[in-house]
Structure 1
Amino acid sequence: MSDQPEQSEKTEDPSQKRLEDAHKKGDVVKSQEVTTWFMVLGSAMVFAFVAPMTAGSVMTTLGGYLGQADLYEVGGPGFGAFVTNAAISLLGALLIPMALLALCGVAGNMVQHRMVFSLDPIKPKFSKVSPIAGFKRLFSTEALVNFAKGLFKLVVFSTIMVLVVWPDRDRLDTIMTAEPTMILTLFQEIGIKIFIATLIAITVIALLDYLYVRHKWWKRQMMTVKEVRDEYKNMEGDPHIKGRIRQIRLERSRKRMMAAVPDATVVVVNPTHYAVALKYDRDMAAPEVVAKGVDSIALRIRALARDHDIPIVENPPLARALHAGAEIGEQIPAEHFKAVAQIIGYVMRLRSRSRWKSGS
């Protein structure tokens, strides 16, 4: 009862950090019915395809032993070698079915969640041995659901057995007088029918159970408003998170800066290191810096300028001074007005000549 108010306060979806923490603790979506579906599928494959070959191998091995039974010693070291060889032969025949079933068991978990290694679920906890906690679990909603689910599966599979076996009841009556090969064929035929019907039924059960388990897991991971605030505060104080946020902001700022280069009037450069893109029109009081950078950033600014036919003027002292004295989006310092005005005037004269030549 004490957990009820706390559960009702969980109104916020879980954060990515909450989900990652749950995964590290081994708290993942895991429906046992999905794993059972894979195990039944693996058993059906073994029964339909692997079992006949395995049975043939075992029969050949045992037939050889029976045919040469008089050659084996009942006691002494020869008997130990006989038992060892027989065990190795049987184990080799069973190795493929065992490996296939193990693979299906792993696949049943891998399709539901990422691989996880955690000791948290097996750590000793008082609630696991507490009689009161055990009594609550025994009469909890989860226990009731599991009981109803088990009862439902018992009814479904019993019905499947009856529906599949009943049409062949006459053939089963004569099984004692049939040839061994006919008995194996009949068992394989009925077994395949049972597996197919079981797979169809358990597919529906596994799907519904997975949706139910995932819903419960998601509700368990939900957070209160206070937990969201506390997590946000902790993340803000984390130096790794701060560094990542700064990096994201820097990348976004750089993208905006590069997007402004095609609108620049001129790019002033130092041939090897610096590049400063300036923008000016007659409505502006003074030119302003729209982009700047050194080394690789400077090379990208120059490449963009060339792609968009922005004039590039080499003036190393002015490029270094503008880079150091003005931030992006700011007007250039007053002491550089004259030098920049000469460059912009030169650029505008070049543009006027180009337009006059193209017009003539």
Structure 2
Amino acid sequence: MSDSDDKTEAPSSQRLQKAREDGQIVMSREAMNFVALLGGFAGIFMVLPYLVTDFIHVMQVLMANAGTLPMTQGGLLHSTDHAIAAGLKLAVPMAASVAALCLGGGFLQTGFLIHPESLLPKFERISPLAGFKRIAGGGTLPDTFKALAKFTIFAVVLWNISKNVIPSVPRMVGLEPAPLLKIISDLGFKAASAMILAQLVIAGFDIFWMRFRHISKLKMSREDLKDEYKNTEGDPHVKGRQKALRAKAARQRMMAAVKTATVVVTNPTHYAVALVYERGGGGAPRIVAKGMDDVAARIRDIAQDNRIPLVTNPPLARALFTLPLESEIPAEHFKVVAAIIAYVWKLKRPASRSAPLR
């Protein structure tokens, strides 16, 4: 099975973040084309009408005075400067609107990511051999299909608009400039709007396709996920060993605390709970050790070795076992525990110290 067949798992958040840091992000050219068209549309139909009047006035003055201009270097440069300035006043706002929208669209797609390394020249980008490999490998087929689909959509849109206009073209012959210009402007507005809507649809499909291809390229195999987990969270075997060591240390501390217990309440064989009560301490008896089966047997052995009384009370042992270590017993068990401790203190008198309670 090939590597691509092994990569069946969705990329993890860490892999996606690493790809983003490396400059591998989703960037739809069709979305940028849509933004550029929208900016050009806004410039031509919203900005241009307010600027074209001054441009026409300047050009009319230059044309009207063309015969009177001195044919010297200074006179020609002066006229050229006026023409260039008028052209820049007309072109710069339109170009600025397109540039601003394209810049904003690019930042929105990349999440305001700036990756300087992607701007550096790479040999594979200009290598004819690398380009041939991309073509031969079929990497350009989706792009070719998208280009053909885009051409077809635009052709259909323009045909639907022009087929209603073509019959009226003969009637436009001989019209005054003003009504003719209005007809052409209306037709241009309608065609531009239709092209922008078509490009919006194309951009939507392209963004979906680019994201799908981006995720597909970053897919991971199960082994990749395991390796990533080991690198980020640590080896599960090591973590399991550390957890076992911590549990062992906690159990050793608990067993050591049995030696200080006042009494051990048992089931008598399945549960064992060691309690400590300090006379005059002001608090309730506290659980210092508890266990089931083998651990309970170990608690009983330590209690016997250290002459800690063992009291059999199955209901109380089971109830106390459910409480956390180092917690004081709740009020509902005060009466029973108090009676046990009073009995234990009675056993610990010199006359009764010969044998522990079983």
Q: Please indicate, yes or no, whether the TM-score normalized by the shorter chain is above 0.5.
A: yes
* CA offset digits 1:335-358 (Å, max 9, x no partner): xxxxxxxxxxxxxxxxxxxxxxxx
1:178 deviation in Å? 2.3
- Name the CA shift for 1:174/1:56 in 2 (closer, same or farther; >3 Å): farther
Q: Residue 285 of structure 2 corresponds to which residue in structure 1?
A: 285
Question: How far apart, CA to CA, are the structure 2 residues paired with 1:212 and 1:157?
Answer: 20
Distance 1:54 1:186 in 2: 20
**Structure 1 residue 173: Cα displacement:** 2.9
Amino acid at match of 2:38: L
1:97/1:125 CA distance change after superposition, 3 Å? closer
Shift in Å at residue 147 of structure 1? 1.4
Q: Residue type of the partner of 2:285? A: A
Q: Which residue of 2 aligns with 1:224?
A: 221
Question: How far does the alpha carbon of each residue in 1:190-227 deviate from its partner, in whole angstroms, 9 at most, with x for none?
Answer: 11111122122222221111111101101112222333
1:112-160: CA deviation from partner (whole Å, max 9, x where unpaired):
2212222443445554455554333113443112112111221221122
Q: Residue 342 of structure 1 corresponds to which residue in structure 2?
A: none
- Contact kept, 8 Å, 1:10 with 1:225, in 2: the verdict is yes
- Report 1:1-360 matches (<5 A): 5-125=2-122, 127-128=124-125, 133-236=130-233, 285-286=285-286, 330=326
Rounded to whole Å, the distance in 1 between the matches of 2:285 and 2:8 is 54
Shift of 1:91: 0.4
> Quick one: structure 1 residues 123 and 43, their matched pair in 2 at CA, closer, same or farther if it must change by over 3 Å?
closer
2:166 and 2:142 map into 1 onto residues whose CA distance is 36
Cα displacement string for residues 11-37 of structure 1 (whole angstroms, at most 9, x for unaligned residues): 333233322221222211111111111
Q: Higher Cα Rg: structure 1 or 2?
A: 2
Per-residue deviation, residues 257-290 of structure 1 (Å, max 9, x unmatched): xxxxxxxxxxxxxxxxxxxxxxxxx9962399xx
Instruction: Structure 1: give runs of 5+ residues left out of the alignment.
Output: 238-281, 289-327, 333-360
Distance across 2 between alignment mates of 1:181 and 1:64: 20
Distance in 1 (CA, whole Å) between partners of 2:65 and 2:129 is 64
Aligned to 1:248: none
**Residues 24 and 117 in structure 1, CA contact (< 8 A), matched pair in contact too:** no
Deviation at 1:109, TM superposition (A): 1.9
Q: Distance in 2 between matches of 1:127 and 1:236?
A: 37
CA distance in 2, matches of 1:57, 1:7: 62
Residue type matched to 2:152 in 1?
Answer: V
Q: Secondary structure at the match of 2:113?
A: coil
Change (3 A) 1:131 1:174: same
User: Which residue of structure 1 lines up, in the alignment, with residue 342 of structure 2?
Assistant: none
> Residues 6 and 118 of structure 1: is their aligned pair in 2 closer, same or farther, counting only changes over 3 Å?
same
The amino acid across from 1:18 in the alignment is R
Distance 2:148 2:203 in 1: 15
| More moved, 186-195 vs 198-207 | 198-207
Aligned 8 A contact 1:26 1:121 in 2: yes
CA contact (8 A) 2:8 2:221 kept: yes
Task: Write the distance in 1 (CA, Å) between the matches of 2:94 and 2:210.
Answer: 30
Structure 2 gap ranges (5+): 235-281, 289-323, 329-358
Matched residue type, 2:286: A
The code of the aligned residue for 2:178 comes to T
**CA offset at residue 174 of structure 1?**
4.4
Identity of aligned residues (%): 24
1:116 is matched by which residue type in structure 2? L
* CA distance in 2 between partners of 1:284 and 1:213 (Å): 67
Contact in 2 for aligned 1:47/1:192 (Cα 8 Å): no
How far did 1:234 drift?
3.4
| Alpha-carbon offset, residue 102 of structure 1 | 0.7
User: Offset of 1:110 from its aligned partner?
Assistant: 2.7
Change (3 A) 1:180 1:31: same
> When the two structures are superposed, what TM-score results if normalisation uses the length of structure 2?
0.61
Q: What TM-score comes out, normalization by structure 1 length?
A: 0.60
- Residue 81 of structure 1 aligns to which amino acid in structure 2? H
What amino acid is aligned across from residue 131 of structure 2 in structure 1?
G
Contact 2:10 2:219 survives alignment (8 Å): yes
The 8 Å contact of residues 25 and 119 in structure 1, kept in 2 or not, is answered as no
The residue aligned with 1:264 is none
Once the two structures are superposed, residues 290-333 of structure 1 have per-residue CA deviations (whole angstroms, 9 ceiling, x without a partner) of: xxxxxxxxxxxxxxxxxxxxxxxxxxxxxxxxxxxxxx97469x
